[in-house]
Amino acid sequence: MRISGLSKRTGVSVATLKFYLREGLLPAGQPTAANQAEYGDEHVHRVSLIRVLRDVAGLDLRTIHRVIDAIGDERVGRHELLGVVQGTLPRPPIAPDPDGEVTRARADVDAFLARLGWEVRLEAPARGTLAGALAALRRIGREVPAEAFSPYADAADRMARWEVLAVPASGSRSAQVEGLVVGTLVYGVVFDALRRLAHEHHSRCARAEDKP
């Protein structure tokens, strides 16, 4: 199909498709004439993948580039890919730490993860995310220990165990790693949305019980 057909199939404007092509996010089509190229199902798939990462996971274009490159790079193993996915976490900008709260929180988070017995790299970006969150809670006056994260760690542990088992060991490498990336990012958003709906449901129940 021509680029206009690709636009029709995906619902993405021709201008945006041309931008993806220029940015190298979308591989070039098969040239058919000067300024014309033919696109196939793999292009439809790639555009859909870009839209998942952008519209559902909320990643910026630079991060999408990094993720797509890692999916396509045969040298990146399944385990290493998890590091790339972790790198897509929103990370607090490196801010001054006038009161030393971030440094203190980081030490607490590292000790907490060690007590859990989790084998995770010291440079795992998620450690910084947790330290930033803990420091932020303390700065608004919630003097919580890292142990406040325990119920969340238990839930995360259970979820991750069956998620890792659910990744099919068969199929092409790129299908597997794409499944891993999309699964982590999209089901993260799905869980967050379900948690907020469950808040609404349980808060309604709690309110109903308050009434005489």
Could you tell me where the DSSP H helices lie in the chain? Answer: 3-10, 14-23, 41-51, 61-72, 78-86, 101-116, 125-139, 150-166, 173-210
Residue 35 or 172: the one with the smaller Cβ distance to a second copy is 172
How many whole angstroms separate alpha carbon 186 and alpha carbon 193?
Answer: 11
How many whole angstroms separate alpha carbon 34 and alpha carbon 11?
Answer: 25
Is residue 161 involved in binding a second copy (CB under 8 A)? yes
Please identify which residue in 74, 119, 123, 143 interacts with a second copy, judged by CB under 8 A.
119
Among 157, 155, 162, smallest CA distance to 195 is for 155
Quote the DSSP letter at residue 32.
Answer: E
Please identify which residue in 9, 65, 66, 104 interacts with a second copy, judged by CB under 8 A.
9
Using CB under 8 A, which of the segments 19-27, 28-36, 66-74, 162-170 binds a second copy? 162-170
Is residue 111 involved in binding a second copy (CB under 8 A)? no
In SS3 terms, 45-93 reads as HHHHHHHHHHHHCCCCHHHHHHHHHHHHCCCCCHHHHHHHHHCCCCCCC
Smallest separation, CB 38 to a second copy (Å): 20
Contacting a second copy within 125-154 (CB under 8 A): 126-127, 129-130, 132-133, 136-137, 139-142, 149, 151-153
The count of C-alpha atoms lying within 13 angstroms of the C-alpha of 93, restricted to the half-sphere facing its C-beta, is 2
Is residue 15 involved in binding a second copy (CB under 8 A)? no
Q: Is residue 167 helix, strand or coil?
A: coil
Smallest separation, CB 175 to a second copy (Å): 9
Please identify which residue in 3, 19, 38, 48 interacts with a second copy, judged by CB under 8 A.
48
Smallest separation, CB 23 to a second copy (Å): 18
Smallest separation, CB 19 to a second copy (Å): 15
- Encoded one letter per residue, x for contact with a second copy by CB under 8 A and - for no contact, window 25-44 reads --------------------
Is residue 14 involved in binding a second copy (CB under 8 A)? no
Is residue 60 involved in binding a second copy (CB under 8 A)? no
